Amino acid sequence: MLKIAKPFLLMLAGIIFLSPSTVMATDALQAELLNTLWVVIAGAMVFLMQAGFAMLETGMVRAKNAVNVMMKNYIDLCVGTLLFWLVGYGLMFGDNPSGFYGTNLFGLSSAPDWDYTLIFFQIMFAATAATIVSGAMAERTNYIAYLIGTCGITAIIYPVFGSWAWNEHGWLKQMGFIDFAGSTVVHSVGGWCALAAVILLGPRLGRFGEKGEARQVPGHNLSFIAIGGFLLWFGWFGFNGGSTLAAGTNLGHILLNTHIAGAAGAVGAMLLCFSTRQPALLTSTVNGSIAGLVAITAGCASMQVPYAILTGAIGGGLSVLGTIWLERMRLDDVVGAISVHGICGVWGTLAAGLFLTGNMYDTHQILVQLAGIGAAFAWVFFSALIMYFLISKVFGLRVSTMHEQRGLDITEHGEIGYPEFGKDVVYSSESLKDLSKI
């Protein structure tokens, strides 16, 4: 007996060493490593969208407001990061018995590794939602009022809706609402906040003539707009790809859908401009691609490539039409954020239902999508309207006419963006003249 017992025991030892649980533990660790790696890289890519938004938005304003827009983009990220860690993450992803908001995980400081990975990634999303608003409100908003609005969005408005759609026990999630990476959760939320702000703010001085006719206010640096568009597009690969929250073999499909919808968005916008005999402006083209990316965000993981093209192209066309439509409503959205993020977010969320692989044009799914779209608008638009109304009463939302004319750079920050260039055009103030002598 002992004769076979020895190798038998050795084998047994080998098997214990190699027992399924050990291998599975190793596999689980490997999986967590891979997932961590992908999610942090994707999070860093999403971070770079902040630079994209900053360039895009700054390029679209006049030089006298360049510093102000840059500052808003920079500081809303910083304030939003701190607040989302402190409040927002818990509201969005904490235990959610009611289905309407989370109740723990506030100010996370002692947690498993994976939770830190998640919050790192989610912070970037909250910052994206907040920063969408800055462009729409540009060139006329009180800096402090803007910052307080950012606090409200990252701490309350965004995470509460997020807890409905993305929290495991959120009521929209439970209904089967599909919004993979946030056409609604991030982009429409940002868009509807922008809409509320723009309605309360009113248009910039001179944006509409006495008879209500729209006047174009060209941005000061169109090169920035294109580079901003490229940076946003790059970040979107992290935005949509990272939303798997796992390294999956389907990443190629997701990113191909994302990329091709962006391309189709630009082409869609261009074709719509040609067909309506408008010039295909750089701004429309870049916004078209962003609109395509917004539109594919909800369905990038559950759609075949040709439908991604269709979704993106229609998104691009809608961004042009939306801009025209808002202009007719005499709403002054400086960068087109409401159209690109709000309206195309709606379209993308609908498209995710319409073109769901294996279950296309399913009435139930489409109704669920519409419920999510409607809930987002109802919660976000009205809570943002109330918030900005209160801010306007307490702090004042809009700067004075004189400050708006002189530019927010000098009046809000005491700096100018390009002190050696174009002074006679940009800066009317006599007090700045001596800068040229330095």
Contact pick of 210, 249, 393, 431 for a copy of itself (by CB under 8 A): 249
Report the alpha-carbon distance of residue 195 to residue 184 in Å, rounded: 14
Sign of CA dihedral 235, 240, 243, 247: negative
Total residues interacting with a copy of itself, rule: CB under 8 A: 127
Which residue matches tokens 């025209």? 324
Part of the chain binding a copy of itself (CB under 8 A), chosen from 191-199, 256-264, 371-379, 390-398: 256-264
Part of the chain binding a copy of itself (CB under 8 A), chosen from 174-182, 194-202, 374-382, 408-416: 408-416
**Region for 167 from its dihedrals, namely left if φ exceeds 0, alpha if ψ lies in -120 to 50, beta otherwise:** beta
Report the alpha-carbon distance of residue 294 to residue 330 in Å, rounded: 24
Torsion, CA 298, CA 133, CA 127, CA 183, rounded to 10: 0
Judged by beta carbon, residue 309 or residue 351, the one nearer a copy of itself is 309
Contact pick of 56, 118, 326, 399 for a copy of itself (by CB under 8 A): 118
* Ranges of H-type helices in 297-343: 305-328, 337
Part of the chain binding a copy of itself (CB under 8 A), chosen from 75-83, 182-190, 379-387, 392-400: 75-83
Q: Where are the beta strands (DSSP E) in 295-418?
A: none
Of 183-212, binders to a copy of itself (CB under 8 A) are: 206
Part of the chain binding a copy of itself (CB under 8 A), chosen from 192-200, 222-230, 293-301, 336-344: 222-230
Instruction: Evaluate whether 362 touches 356 at the Cβ level (below 8 Å).
Output: yes
Judged by beta carbon, residue 50 or residue 163, the one nearer a copy of itself is 50
The answer to whether 231 contacts a copy of itself (rule: CB under 8 A) is yes
Contact pick of 136, 172, 263, 310 for a copy of itself (by CB under 8 A): 263
Whole-number CA gyration radius for the chain? 24
Part of the chain binding a copy of itself (CB under 8 A), chosen from 131-139, 169-177, 223-231, 318-326: 223-231
Contact pick of 38, 158, 192, 381 for a copy of itself (by CB under 8 A): 38
The answer to whether 378 contacts a copy of itself (rule: CB under 8 A) is no
Contact pick of 62, 140, 173, 187 for a copy of itself (by CB under 8 A): 62
Residue 364 tokens read as 């139930």
Of 281-340, binders to a copy of itself (CB under 8 A) are: 281-283, 285-286, 289, 304-306, 309
Part of the chain binding a copy of itself (CB under 8 A), chosen from 90-98, 187-195, 229-237, 339-347: 229-237
Judged by beta carbon, residue 11 or residue 386, the one nearer a copy of itself is 11
Of 414-433, binders to a copy of itself (CB under 8 A) are: 414-423, 425-426
Cα angle value 201/203/205 (rounded, 5°): 115
Report the alpha-carbon distance of residue 53 to residue 57 in Å, rounded: 6
Sign of CA dihedral 374, 380, 383, 385: negative
**Region for 94 from its dihedrals, namely left if φ exceeds 0, alpha if ψ lies in -120 to 50, beta otherwise:** beta
The answer to whether 403 contacts a copy of itself (rule: CB under 8 A) is no
